[in-house]
Amino acid sequence: MDELINIWRQFLHESHQKTNWWERKKASFGHRDAKIKQVHVQGKMRGNGRHPKEKANVYDLNITCHIEQGNYQYKEEIQTPYRFDMTDGKITNHVPLDRTEPEQAITVMKRSDATNSKNTFSYNRRAAVSYANTWWNNYNPEYETFRVDCTNYVSQCLYAGGAPMRGHPVREEGWWYSGGNWSFSWSVAHSLRWYLSTSRQGLTAEEVGTAKELMPGDVICYDFEGDGRWNHNTIVVAKDGNNMPLVNAHTDNSKNRYWTYEDSLAWTNKIKYAFFRIGV
């Protein structure tokens, strides 16, 4: 355990030097008139637990921040998985787990439905948020779990809120999960982003211009490099003291994280966002 504590310290130091993520995080809180009152860091070895292809030397770094923003207080939780190798009794190759999207991420959904008249459905935002908070740091055994699980998780939340599936069994059409198979839009960040902006049947959404317009149950999409390839999705679960979104996510499991993701190792100053109001 002492050796594990040492690699946590090494990780935090190296991350600080390479990315200044902690400075970005503190600056983000400063801009919001928020203060980090307490930070709790905990690590847990998990071996082969979550993903069978992972090597045994894998642990989760859990960071909990207690936030105070005027009279508003909340708790932000982030879990980041890391792996390391052992060579002659020494820790080597201590790095975050690979979170590269699978090759199918470049696939864009067919847009044949874009000209159809737009429909609406009854979206239960409370149910979607309840599901998001129940499973933010765990995995529903009724669904497949992916190494890059953010979109799969968001899709499950939307379905729990009553979003209707359609398109089965064609993977390039609609948005669906059935019998251990699924559409690209269900599981791939890039595909869900474009599905939400074009669908006029089943699950529908309206793209809005600012994060402040979103409500709990809505979705934010992220293009970290600003290159047109959308890498990540989150679901809004609350609003902070300034009425700005707090989000949950999988892959690096997060709860009540501030929507901008400036504290992410994936963040760059070229980042682009897309904001979707669900069910309108």
Question: What DSSP character marks residue 182?
Answer: E
pLDDT in tens, 108-165: 444 444 444 556 689 999 999 999 999 999 999 999 999 899 999 999 999 999 999 9
Contact, 29 vs 67, CB < 8 A? yes
Cβ neighbours around 114 below 10 Å, total = 13
Verify cis geometry, omega within 30 degrees of 0, for the bond prior to 141. no
Q: Is 101 left (phi over 0), alpha (psi -120 to 50) or beta?
A: beta
Q: What is the four-CA torsion angle of 46, 50, 53, 54, rounded to 10 degrees?
A: -30
Give me the CATH topology for the region 103-278: endopeptidase fold (from Nostoc punctiforme) (3.90.1720)
Separation of CA 279 from chain center:
20
74: Cα within 13 Å, side-chain hemisphere: 18
Verify cis geometry, omega within 30 degrees of 0, for the bond prior to 164. no
Q: What is the pLDDT of residue 114?
A: 43
Element (H, E) at 191: helix 189-198
Joined tokens for residue 230 = 């959308």
Domain ranges in the chain?
Answer: 2-96, 103-278
Is pLDDT above 60 for 52? no
pLDDT in tens, 211-266: 999 999 999 999 999 999 999 999 999 999 999 999 999 989 999 999 999 988 89
